[in-house]
């Protein structure tokens, strides 16, 4: 499917990829704060960095004067990253003040995002937190003493709940509370958990259990017949009726033919469709792509992302 982006989102994206003056795509040499969030292997990752004007007496009064980013992702990931950098620079925030920026501020700055792309704004806010944590370590600022609870290792520590996106229980519990997530689709739209193989939805200790425990739903209670849906999600469902397996396969084939194969063939590569089972698309790389050291990244960052963007967000590509 084609996402409906605001004009501001599209313009920020185009300005960034063309390197227009005033945009922020790039790196800062020896930054004062550096943070990362997401997974390159899954096609969505962001590295965020900033430089401060140091206060000679009180490090908490350092002011961010430059912010930049690198991201692996789609239109909304780049636009959300641009929005984050712009908000910080225009506000002349201290690193601690910058933590007030939430993903909802990024979405508002962009004039809205498709509900399926809200996770891109969350990724920016998470990368900012990681960068502030890094700045605090470098400058000797005790965040805990200031009542700020962020941890650089939260993504790595704890039981993995969503194996497809390597998301841990502590991280998911925190995001469920922070973003007031009430259903599995809301979790998927916000942080991508459960958006690929979906095996973590209802297993013991899975997403539904985390929701029940967070919002104190009694064990063994009968689930409601209706689900709370995000307004944008409800509108999208009303506008886009479900397609048949045949229509789905034809859309996959058309996207491969019109977009993906021409890009790969420019470098002597190609891709062959082998099979489709539900939302799993089995592909074989050919030509220069076959056996290439970057084959896995090609599948995730190019092929899978394009299929997600133009066909269905739930698609997962499997190499055979």
pLDDT on residue 263: 77
Same domain, 17 and 137: yes
**121 assigned to some structural domain:** yes
Of these residues, 42, 162, 164, 200, which one is catalytic? 42
Same domain, 84 and 203: no
The count of other CB atoms within 10 Å of the CB of residue 266 is 8
Domain extent, residue 93, equals 7-141
- Return the CATH number at 115: 3.90.1010.10
- Please tell me whether residue 221 adopts helix, strand or coil conformation: coil
Q: What is the pTM of this model?
A: 0.58
Same domain, 192 and 97: no
Q: Which of 120, 117, 74 is nearest to 236 (CA)?
A: 117
Q: Which of 186, 175, 66 is nearest to 131 (CA)?
A: 66
**62 assigned to some structural domain:** yes
- Return the CATH number at 185: 1.10.10
pLDDT on residue 41: 53
pLDDT on residue 94: 96
pLDDT on residue 52: 97
Backbone angles phi and psi of 211, in degrees to 5: -65, -45
Per-residue pLDDT of the chain (320 residues; tens, 9 = 90+): 456 788 999 999 889 888 899 999 999 999 999 998 876 555 567 899 999 999 999 999 999 999 999 887 678 888 999 999 999 999 999 999 999 998 889 989 999 887 777 777 778 888 898 899 999 999 999 998 888 877 654 445 678 888 877 788 888 888 888 788 889 888 887 777 887 677 888 888 899 999 999 988 655 544 443 343 444 444 444 444 567 888 888 999 998 988 888 877 877 788 899 888 888 888 888 887 676 656 666 676 678 878 888 888 888 888 87
pLDDT on residue 114: 79
pLDDT on residue 297: 63
Active site residue 120: yes
pLDDT on residue 166: 75
**126 assigned to some structural domain:** yes
- Beta carbons of 305 and 43 less than 8 angstroms apart: yes
Of these residues, 120, 162, 289, 300, which one is catalytic? 120
**38 assigned to some structural domain:** yes
Active site residue 42: yes
Same domain, 200 and 313: no
**300 assigned to some structural domain:** yes
pLDDT on residue 223: 45
Same domain, 132 and 170: no
Q: Could you say which of 109, 141, 173 is where a domain stops?
A: 141
Domain tally, the chain: 3
Same domain, 14 and 110: yes
7 Cβ contact list (under 8 Å, min separation 6): 111
Distances in whole angstroms, Cα of residue 137 to Cα of each of 98, 191, 204, 290 = 16, 26, 37, 44
Same domain, 66 and 16: yes
**Residue 22 class from Cβ within 10 Å (0-12 exposed, 13-18 middle, 19+ buried)?**
exposed
- Beta carbons of 249 and 263 less than 8 angstroms apart: no
């Amino acid at each position: 499917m084609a996402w409906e982006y605001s004009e501001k989102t599209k313009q920020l994206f185009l300005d960034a990829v063309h390197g227009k003056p005033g945009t922020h795509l790039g790196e800062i040499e020896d930054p004062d704060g550096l943070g990362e969030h997401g997974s390159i292997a899954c096609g969505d990752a962001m590295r965020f960095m900033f430089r401060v004007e140091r206060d000679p007496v009180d490090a908490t009064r350092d002011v961010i004067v430059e912010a930049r980013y690198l991201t692996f992702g789609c239109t909304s990931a780049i636009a959300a990253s641009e929005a984050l950098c712009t908000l910080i620079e225009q506000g002349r925030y201290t690193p601690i003040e910058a933590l007030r920026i939430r993903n909802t501020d990024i979405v508002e700055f962009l004039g809205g995002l498709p509900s399926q792309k809200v996770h891109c704004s969350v990724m920016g806010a998470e990368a900012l937190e990681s960068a502030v944590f890094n700045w605090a370590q470098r400058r000797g600022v005790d965040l805990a003493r200031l009542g700020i609870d962020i941890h650089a290792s939260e993504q790595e520590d704890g039981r993995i709940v969503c194996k497809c996106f390597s998301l841990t229980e502590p991280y998911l519990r925190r995001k469920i509370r922070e973003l007031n997530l009430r259903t599995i689709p809301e979790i998927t739209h916000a942080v991508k958990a459960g958006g690929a193989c979906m095996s973590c939805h209802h297993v013991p200790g899975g997403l539904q259990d985390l929701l029940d425990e967070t919002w104190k739903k009694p064990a063994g209670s009968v689930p409601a017949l209706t689900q709370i849906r995000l307004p944008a999600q409800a509108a999208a469902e009303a506008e886009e009726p479900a397609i048949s397996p045949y229509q789905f396969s034809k859309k996959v084939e058309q996207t491969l033919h019109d977009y993906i194969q021409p890009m790969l063939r420019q470098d002597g590569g190609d891709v062959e469709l082998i099979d489709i089972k539900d939302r799993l698309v089995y592909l074989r790389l050919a030509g220069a792509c076959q056996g290439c050291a970057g084959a896995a990244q090609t599948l995730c960052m190019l092929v899978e992302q394009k299929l997600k963007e133009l066909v269905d967000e739930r698609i997962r590509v499997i190499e055979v």
